[in-house]
Amino acid sequence: MSRFPHLLVALIAVVMCAGQLQAQTGTVSGRITDDATLAALTDVEVTVAGRTVASDVDGRFVLTNVPAGVYRLLATRLGYRDVEETITVLPNETTTIEIVMVPAPIGLEEIVAIGYGQEQKRDLTGVVDEVPREAFNTGRITTAEELIQAKVAGVQVTEDNGGEPGGGISIRIRGATSVTSSNEPLYVIDGVPLQIGGGLSSGRNPLNFLNPDDIESFTVLKDASATAIYGSQGANGVVIITTRSGSGTAAGGPQVTYRGNFSGSNVTGRPDIMNATQFRQTVDEQAPELLAILGAEDTNWRKEVEQSAFGQEHSLAVAGATEKMNYRLSLGYFNQQGVVRASKNERLSLSLGYNQLLFDDRLRLQANILGARNEDQFTPGGVLGNASNFAPTQPIEDPDSPYGGFFEWEDPLAANNPVGELNLVYDRGTTYRSIGNATGEYFFGFLDGLSATARLGYVVTNSERRTFAPSIAKFQAETGRNGTISRSNPTEFNWLFDGYATYAQNWERHALDVTGGYAYQQWRTESPSFFAQQLSSDLLGPNGIPAAQLERTFLNVDESRLASWFARANYTYKDRYLITGTIRADGSSKFGADNQWATFPSVAVAWRLSQEGFMESADWLSDLKLRLSYGSNGNQAFASYQQYKDYVFGDPLTQAQFGTEFVSTIRPSAVDPNIKWEETSSWNFGLDYGFWDNRLAGSL
């Protein structure tokens, strides 16, 4: 019995200690305003102890259950200088802080996406350019790439569409790098890469399924140091596209926005082509014996195939947020005629973005889904060339012509009547495309700055293209096909998994950011198609397959896989000396067993001279940083199965005789079992500068 009081006292002490241990947390709250206007700032990201929260529409933020201790508070927002404050969190108390942010020009202070993470642009050692929504091109914007056209140095965006809306584009980042494969960059949309070369969008604009109003920012990775994290897919540079999501964390009703416009387009700067009078004079001077075959008309063929193109675009979005969640849902409609007759692009798009914080803000969930239906009407090839070459003295129609009533020269080397081709040839396409991802990021409590991310993404495309050329079209009669019908129905399904961990920590003089993980991607494309010619009748148009005397069907299946390990480390000392090392090992099914794996490393260093003591007197200098980098990238954008032999039937003339029977020979195709990665290596030297509080800033 004498031991009972001691046990009771010990039990009470344990309970009190446990209560004290459970209570060793506090709250951090505050309000953020603009230094110039004193207005509240929303969407400011405030980070304390590895946890991040955004300010609401009143500029207020609250972080609960923060372990007691001394921390560095970091506040960041696009267009403002970062703010760092040292705060002390006491148990069971609220630490309140007022933060005033100074505006800064968009340039050296923003957070940019760098592939599997983010980084302050001022701390970059590679060549990365970001174009945020505030800096997009404005006016008549019909496709996504027009938002950044002429905005990024070293990036060339050219249209190769022959006047067709939604047609092909060419984007080159610092020129071409491959002589045998695609030179298009890798497009990464919300963490999901599109197939290099466009996949089923090959020959068309691979971004034409995107509603420009759904895009938040473009980030362009240019040099090998910046793109090395993407390994074999980054040889031509990387374009990272981030879509919009709900903003803020304030409770309240949803916000509904609508944007619409109508537009008209006309051809300007036409080539200087002879009119009928000039053409007759030239023929009279150079070949007078041909005057008799010239007509009496005065036809401007370019005007006959061109038109004033009407366009309209509408976007309706609903966005909302609570303290732990935000979302955005949008619906877009786009309809644009081409300046060449018989061309049109119509797009119906849908976008959904959703973000959620759980478990005391330690788990961040994100989901993005984009989908679109594109209807295309194509112009027959060569129409503009024929319009420029056809004699202006000839009529458009000829009632005695066997070519659908359109005048045609009988010479097979002569240009075809462009108006006749526009009226006789049918070429339509429909494409359904969707891209999406689900991402989870968890911040571990036992080690500040440690997080793990898992992402599952997909790209699904279903396309159909239908063409019909009647037997009465001149080029059909010339080739002896006498009417053709074709149809293709390719489908594409790509999926990926990314899993990686990140550790980021700052000490008094040191900063370290390390990322490492694994990625797996798989592509599968099925392309069934058929072709029919020698039509008995043109009356059924593209449905006239039963009237064809010759039919052929095809099926092509392509599968490939890519497995990757990657790591990146960024280290900074005294905010002056920076070094980044990146390595990625890729294994591709497109190569033989001895060449499937390749490793792509890079290293970059930077020296911020503006932080050195001997530069203290240069008040006019805000930032000056020298950069040097080296890296290698690969390219595996080749056709699959090149390492395997195909066995095909030989020529009938090489048949072998066995008794009274003749047997066709079978021969293997020529292959190179040593086919391997195409690799590029590059050095890069540059500098970043900022003068007078970054009012003048840039990079070389």
Chosen domain end from 56, 74, 101: 101
Q: What is the mean pLDDT of residues 174-187?
A: 70
Q: Is residue 421 classed as helix, strand or coil in its secondary structure?
A: helix
pLDDT, residue 491, reads: 93
Provide the pLDDT confidence category of residue 18 given band limits of 50, 70 and 90: very low
649/517 Cα distance (integer angstroms): 47
Pairing type for strands 450-469 and 510-535 reads unpaired
Q: What is the mean pLDDT of residues 42-63?
A: 85
23/422 Cα distance (integer angstroms): 79
| Domain enclosing residue 398, as ranges | 268-305+381-424
- 458 domain residue, yes or no: no
- 341 domain residue, yes or no: no
More reliable by pLDDT, 307 or 575? 307
> Strand (E) positions, 507-547?
510-535
Residue 198 has pLDDT above 50, yes or no: no
Convert the pLDDT of each residue in 613-649 to its tens digit: 777 677 788 788 899 999 888 777 777 777 777 776 6
pLDDT, residue 458, reads: 96
pLDDT, residue 110, reads: 64
The mean-pLDDT minimum among 59-68, 430-439, 452-461 falls in 59-68
181/39 Cα distance (integer angstroms): 53
pLDDT, residue 108, reads: 39
More reliable by pLDDT, 338 or 639? 338
pLDDT, residue 652, reads: 64
Q: Is residue 483 classed as helix, strand or coil in its secondary structure?
A: coil
Tally of structural domains, the chain: 2
As a whole-number percent, the residues of the chain with pLDDT over 70 amount to 89
Residue 37 has pLDDT above 90, yes or no: no
As a whole number, the mean pLDDT across the chain is: 83
pLDDT, residue 107, reads: 43
> Strand (E) positions, 55-116?
60-67, 69-76, 83-89, 94-101, 111-113
Residue 671 has pLDDT above 80, yes or no: no
- 402 domain residue, yes or no: yes
Q: What is the mean pLDDT of residues 414-420?
A: 92
Convert the pLDDT of each residue in 98-113 to its tens digit: 999 987 654 434 677 8
Most confident of 244-253, 488-497, 658-667: 488-497
pLDDT, residue 512, reads: 92
CATH number of the CATH domain containing 49: 2.60.40.10
- 94 domain residue, yes or no: yes
Q: What is the mean pLDDT of residues 210-215?
A: 92
pLDDT, residue 590, reads: 85
Q: What is the mean pLDDT of residues 587-598?
A: 85
More reliable by pLDDT, 475 or 520? 520
Q: Which residues pair with 599 in a beta bridge?
A: 585
- What predicted TM-score, i.e. pTM, was given to this entire model? 0.76
Q: Determine the length of the chain.
A: 700
Provide the pLDDT confidence category of residue 305 given band limits of 50, 70 and 90: very high
pLDDT, residue 12, reads: 42
Chosen domain end from 33, 66, 101: 101
Provide the pLDDT confidence category of residue 421 given band limits of 50, 70 and 90: very high
pLDDT, residue 16, reads: 44
Supply the DSSP symbol for 415.
P
- 85 domain residue, yes or no: yes
Q: What is the mean pLDDT of residues 688-694?
A: 79
Residue 168 has pLDDT above 70, yes or no: no
DSSP H/E element including 503: strand 491-506
- 279 domain residue, yes or no: yes
Q: What is the mean pLDDT of residues 414-441?
A: 93
Convert the pLDDT of each residue in 69-90 to its tens digit: 888 888 887 667 788 888 999 9
pLDDT, residue 7, reads: 44
Q: What is the mean pLDDT of residues 542-567?
A: 84
More reliable by pLDDT, 449 or 17? 449
Indicate the burial class of 653 (C-beta count within 10 angstroms; 0-12, 13-18, 19 or more).
exposed
- 152 domain residue, yes or no: no
Other C-beta atoms lying within 10 Å of the C-beta of residue 469: 25
Residue 492 has pLDDT above 50, yes or no: yes
What is the signed CA dihedral for 41, 43, 47, 48, rounded to 10 degrees?
60
DSSP H/E element including 301: helix 301-305
Chosen domain end from 394, 424, 454: 424
- 93 domain residue, yes or no: yes
Q: What is the mean pLDDT of residues 4-28?
A: 53
